[in-house]
């Protein structure tokens, strides 16, 4: 059994990743190790923020852990909101963030975008990173009742938004799912008995 701390306080991300994990894998939450503080995110790239959160937890609590950072990258906005996705409109408010993106994209024909997740694993004091992306377009309005963050305005190739997918379906195709599958494969090959 591999025990890893998932360095996040986002219950939606925890649920998504827990659905993907094989039985040899046990996730501990930050609260399980007594970590109640906000994790640092002080960098300008998704890769660096993912690493910063993992290093903070691994060093302060002396545990094997993984952290992830994700962002919505929109071609017409030069990759924004990107690393600033969670606070794009000033605070952690998904509706305000989506409204800002929709307003900025109002007269833009180039609606290409992608979601990107970077997972940083620190195990036995060694760091590894896994990257997952999914391509889509920015819709013109919010649609769907599921998901979180920018899911209601992120349109997939089949015309549905991420927020129109049930969690089980989303957890098979999302950017986070792709990065998590790489993490699981790595652990299977290197750490499962």
Summarize pLDDT for 126-137 with one digit per residue, the tens.
999 999 999 999
The predicted structure's pLDDT at residue 193 = 59
Q: What residue spans define the domains of the chain?
A: 2-191
Place of tokens 């690493």: 51
The predicted structure's pLDDT at residue 12 = 83
State the Cα–Cα distance between residues 186 and 119, nearest whole angstrom.
12
Burial of residue 61, with CB atoms counted within 10 A of its CB: 0-12 exposed, 13-18 middle, 19 or more buried: middle
Tell which residue, 59, 50, 43, has the closest CA to residue 8. Answer: 50
pLDDT of 52 higher than 90: yes
If you average pLDDT over each of 6-10, 13-17, 96-100, which comes out highest? Answer: 96-100
Burial of residue 40, with CB atoms counted within 10 A of its CB: 0-12 exposed, 13-18 middle, 19 or more buried: exposed
Longest dimension (CA), the chain: 55
CATH number, span 2-191: 3.90.950.10
The predicted structure's pLDDT at residue 183 = 95
- Catalytic residue ranges: 69
Q: What is the pLDDT of residues 97-129, one digit of tens each?
A: 999 999 999 999 999 999 999 999 999 999 999
Q: What is the pLDDT of residues 154-178, one digit of tens each?
A: 999 999 999 999 988 998 899 999 9
């Amino acid at each position: 059994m591999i025990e890893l701390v998932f360095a996040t306080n986002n219950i939606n991300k925890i649920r998504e990743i827990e659905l993907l994990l094989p039985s040899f894998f046990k996730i501990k939450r930050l609260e399980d190790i007594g970590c109640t503080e906000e994790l640092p995110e002080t960098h300008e790239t998704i890769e660096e923020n993912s690493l910063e959160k993992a290093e903070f937890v691994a060093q302060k609590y002396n545990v094997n852990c993984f952290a992830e950072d994700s962002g919505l990258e929109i071609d017409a906005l030069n990759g924004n909101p990107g690393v600033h996705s969670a606070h794009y409109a000033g605070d952690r408010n998904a509706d305000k963030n989506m409204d800002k993106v929709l307003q900025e994209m109002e007269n833009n024909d180039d609606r290409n975008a992608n979601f990107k997740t970077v997972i940083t694993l620190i195990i036995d004091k060694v760091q590894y990173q896994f990257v997952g992306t999914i391509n889509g377009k920015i819709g013109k309005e919010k649609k769907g009742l599921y998901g979180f963050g920018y899911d209601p305005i992120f349109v997939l190739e089949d015309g549905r938004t991420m927020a129109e997918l049930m969690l089980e379906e989303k957890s098979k195709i999302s950017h986070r799912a792709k990065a998590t599958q790489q993490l699981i494969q790595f652990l299977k090959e290197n750490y499962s008995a």
